[in-house]
Amino acid sequence: MQGQGPQSAAHREVLTGSASDPQPGVTRRLWLQMQARRGGQLALLGAAGLGLSGCGFQLRREPALPFKRIALSGFGARSTQATALRRAMGADVELVASPSKAEVVVVALAEAQERGVVGFTAAGQVRELQLRVKLRYRVLGRDGQEWLGPTELSQLRDMTYNETLALAKELEEGQLVRDMEADIARQVVRQLASLRRPGSP
């Protein structure tokens, strides 16, 4: 058609075709640049993954305990914190009932689960709760010698609350408490892993 100038090289390169070709309105040159950039990104991701596996990257693990026999003392008969401690210590540790047969004894001085209201709706209904789990303990040798003085650990979580979802919120609260107890148990295990007999180098 007369009156129109020659088409630019970019317009002449506009393609249509299969799904593997550029979309309508995308030039071949731009499409090739996009594919090259995408290929480079994938290569970098692959190299990063190989690098992590090559350097032995692993998820953090709890330290190995230098004790094979540990006793728990002072915990309640149905203490869920004691249950979390047993799990955190792993299968390589034998939990014994008698402190005289243990290398070290973890003595619970106090354990508590606290629940408080920290937020209300405009209508005066509970909107937010604050949960806290505490453990105060010390560590003794089998001879009663103190290896670690009274130590307190605590965890805190906030959660929203809705009376119309009371059952679901009760389940959520239980899970949060278990998570906090597990965190405290891992801290106790790390502390035990760093202990040495008093007077030893």
pLDDT at 19 > cutoff 80: no
pTM of whole model > 0.75?
Answer: no
Q: How far is CA 115 from the centre of its chain?
A: 22
- Domain 69-193 belongs in CATH node 3.30.160.150: yes
Report the share of the chain in percent with pLDDT over 90.
Answer: 57
pLDDT at 63: 72
Structure tokens belonging to residue 190: 């790390």
Mean pLDDT of the chain: 80
pLDDT at 65: 87
Model confidence over 133-165: pLDDT tens digits? Answer: 999 999 999 889 999 999 999 999 999 999 899
